[in-house]
Structure 1
Amino acid sequence: MARPKTRGLLYFPLDIDFFEDNKIRILKARYKSDGVQIYLFLLCEIYRKGYYIKVDDDFEYIISDELGIDQNKVKQVLNFLLKRSLFDNTLFNSDKVLTSAGIQKRYQLGIKERMRKSKEPLEVGRYWLLNKNETEPFIKCTLFEDNSGNLDSFSWKNECNSSEKSLNKSKENNIKNNIFQLPELEQAFQLYLVVRKSNFGDILPEQIQALREDLLKLSDNPEEQLAIVKKATASGWKSFYPSRKQEKKTKKKIGFTNYSGGRKYEMDSLELDLLGIQEGKQDGSDKKR
């Protein structure tokens, strides 16, 4: 029987300038050695299992008991780590997951030698924060898959060529799975959430869901959706709004309709006048005959 693959690390690298990082300095200044101890404890727990951990409401009590630190202080430190982006706040709010892009980069480095001997890549999923360029070749991320034989939620190219019914079904699946069809769009959306939280405070899961639905209503085109999200991020908006390209299309459509309506009225009148002239000429011709 084959031995199951080990996803976790036996040890992980720690930068020699760890204590020179301003985030760590502030952590130590506010919570003394307890803050640093809690952070390192969480890193050990994450790397023990892989590149993330899922927690629940009892997790803070477990840390408190393991380290002998007051539970309220554990909660304060965890909130600080999330607020200062030492852990990804969006994933924690939506799925109670602790990880970060930096953690995942160090995780790749930690398993690199092991994966050289492996015949198959290591598969990761929806909690992977690194983009395709940052992901090592020995990592297979389902978010990057284009093949329709894989997860339906990620096969946006095939969905674009399907019927309207299939498109609506795909939208429902994306909303349900909290993921967009286009990986670049999902990454841009996550960045928008970070900026929005910085400007307007914490975001509830229900609000995140509503933002996803609003974006899908604004456009069916993934490229237009991406442009809308990037514009909202750069402008620091609280909600999504139609792009200028869409607004021009709408205005052009309305103007053309009004113009066509007026033009049609004029043409109808002109046709009636011409018809009258032709009938008059015909009557004159008949009289001459």
Structure 2
Amino acid sequence: MARPRKQGLDYFPLDVDIDQDDKIQLVEAVHGPVGFAIVIKLLMRIYKDGYYSKWTETEQLLFSKRVNVDINIINECINDCVKWDLFDKSIFENHEVLTSNGIQTRFLEAVGRRQKVEIVQEYLLLEFEDIKVYKNLSIKSINADINSIDVNINPQSKVKHSKEKNSKEQHTKIDEVVADELSKKNNEMNDKEFAKLSQFYLENIGPLTPHIGEELGHMFDNHPNELILEALKKALEANATNKIRYTNSILINWKNQLLKTLDDVKAADQRRTNSFNTPKNTRVEPVPEWFGKKDYPMEPTPDDFDIAAEREKLMKELGRLNNND
């Protein structure tokens, strides 16, 4: 089965002086604290989804219900946010999507270590020069021909790209095609590896619910597959109640120890076993030279010892002492 891919973030950076930003101050000046709260709630929603959020009538109604604010007030605030460039105007008007250049930049920085991140070409505001450093990106189109490649990723840069030489554009397109093919092969390999992980969980632990699938996907994005399988085996051996949590704690511990491969883990386990089997330092008493010899010296004992004579001798000594008294 194909692995569920985590798109959003668990948390996002929020500057302590965000209320000093001119755009935020404009929203707060018109809409008060409610406007500020709406912006923060929208950012939470966007980063939870990824780097953009759809804003159709359905989303508007649900958002209004969740934050308990009148939908008209929310839409007035949204319109002002678009007017003051908190959200990109062209994307909002053409696709009913809330996003911005800054949101996309922070998102890509946050997911830089994931194995694959999918970006919708029509919503992308960053220049090709800005995103080419991220090798894990897979750019897709929402148009019918999703395999077509458009080097003019940012609609705002069409004039700039149209002025480039044809040879340079063709070279860029070739590079994009090669990169896309490599990305597809990597994705197929990753899906096979994740299928092994899912199959192991199903056969040895239990049903693969959507929540479990997402947790496994998060592990897969951050740890080698062979280590995840090994950690799951240890969770089974320990008969852990929450095997996913137990597995994740093992993986984090290995990562903190800089154990990157299964061989590293086995070597660390062997070192730990050896340390347990090695006896502790104890004081060693010197052994006499004669120890263990058959003819070691013994204390001399009298050959003839007359008990009666010795008793009589003692009695005479006691009698003599009594007479003197």
Provide the TM-score with structure 1 as the length reference: 0.49
Provide the TM-score with structure 2 as the length reference: 0.44
> Which structure has the larger Rg?
2
